[in-house]
């Protein structure tokens, strides 16, 4: 299986960094072909602009979707964006590793989606959801939270974690055709003991060794 692991955290020695390394090492040891996009280490620019393209459709007015469609037709994406797109196109499983910030993706990872999920290439022309370009591929969100698990339940002050993740799982991943696996969530790792954190990493590794057998979850619509 070909696996793409996309990670963002500003500190490599963070627990997110440990989860990223655990995923890469475990999957590689299991015989899978693992490629990565460590966005912080790469210095990935999350801001959309003309630097995403080598072609120009309208020099007088910049509209990303228009330029994306044109670049798709003219092979006009920058080398940086083309490389990320090809990683997605060649993978069977994509994992995103990140800390939940302000109830969503950190800016760098969201910007990666903004720039890489290009109209014409990854979606468009009726190719969305069940007919998306990534149909047959699977995606997994692996994340940490700042608060404890009880804060992310229905009726709790932060609300249901499934509802918080729905814009990502439905509006991004399923939108381009991915089947979504159950998220891997570690609640409040900063409050855990070293032994508890190690147990979470061991549990994650055990899951990843059997990831090929997992069925997608039902995310639901809004």
Tokens representing residue 68 in the block? 């994306």
Task: Please report the pLDDT score of residue 148 as a whole number.
Answer: 86
Tell me if 206 is assigned to some domain. Answer: yes
| DSSP β-ladder status, 93-99 and 2-7 | parallel
Q: Does residue 222 have a pLDDT over 90? A: no
Residue 169 near residue 180 (C-beta atoms within 8 A): yes
Tell me if 165 is assigned to some domain. Answer: yes
Q: Which domain holds residue 101?
A: 2-213
The model's pTM: 0.95
Cβ-count burial 147-184 (b if 16+ within 10 Å, e if not): eeeeebeeeeebeebbeebbebbbebbbbbbbbbbebb
Environment class of 127 (CB within 10 Å of its CB; exposed 0-12, middle 13-18, buried 19+): middle
Mean pLDDT in the chain?
95
Q: Does residue 126 have a pLDDT over 60? A: yes
Tell me if 218 is assigned to some domain. Answer: no
Tell me if 221 is assigned to some domain. Answer: no
Q: Does residue 76 have a pLDDT over 70? A: yes
Task: Please report the pLDDT score of residue 221 as a whole number.
Answer: 63
pLDDT digits (tens, 9 = 90+) for 196-206: 999 999 999 99
What is the number of structural domains in the chain?
1
pLDDT digits (tens, 9 = 90+) for 147-179: 888 888 888 888 899 899 999 999 999 999 999
Tell me if 222 is assigned to some domain. Answer: no
């Amino acid at each position: 299986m070909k696996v793409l692991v996309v990670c963002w955290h500003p500190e490599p020695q963070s627990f997110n960094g440990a989860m990223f390394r655990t995923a890469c090492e475990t999957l590689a040891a299991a015989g899978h072909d693992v490629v990565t996009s460590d966005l912080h280490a790469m210095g990935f620019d999350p801001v959309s602009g003309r630097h995403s393209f080598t072609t120009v459709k309208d020099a007088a007015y910049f509209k990303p979707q228009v330029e994306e469609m044109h670049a798709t037709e003219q092979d006009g994406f920058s080398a940086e964006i083309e490389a990320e797109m090809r990683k997605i196109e060649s993978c069977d499983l994509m994992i995103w590793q990140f800390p939940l910030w302000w109830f969503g993706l950190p800016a760098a990872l969201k910007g990666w989606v903004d720039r890489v999920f290009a109209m014409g290439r990854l979606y468009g022309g009726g190719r969305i959801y069940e007919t998306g370009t990534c149909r047959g591929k699977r995606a997994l969100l692996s994340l940490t939270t700042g608060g404890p698990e009880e804060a992310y339940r229905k009726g709790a002050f932060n609300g249901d974690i499934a509802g918080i993740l729905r814009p990502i799982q439905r509006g991004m991943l399923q939108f381009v055709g991915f089947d979504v696996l159950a998220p891997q969530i570690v609640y409040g790792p900063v409050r855990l003991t070293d032994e508890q954190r190690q147990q979470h990493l061991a549990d994650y590794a055990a899951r990843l060794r059997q990831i090929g057998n997992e069925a997608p979850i039902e995310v639901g619509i809004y």
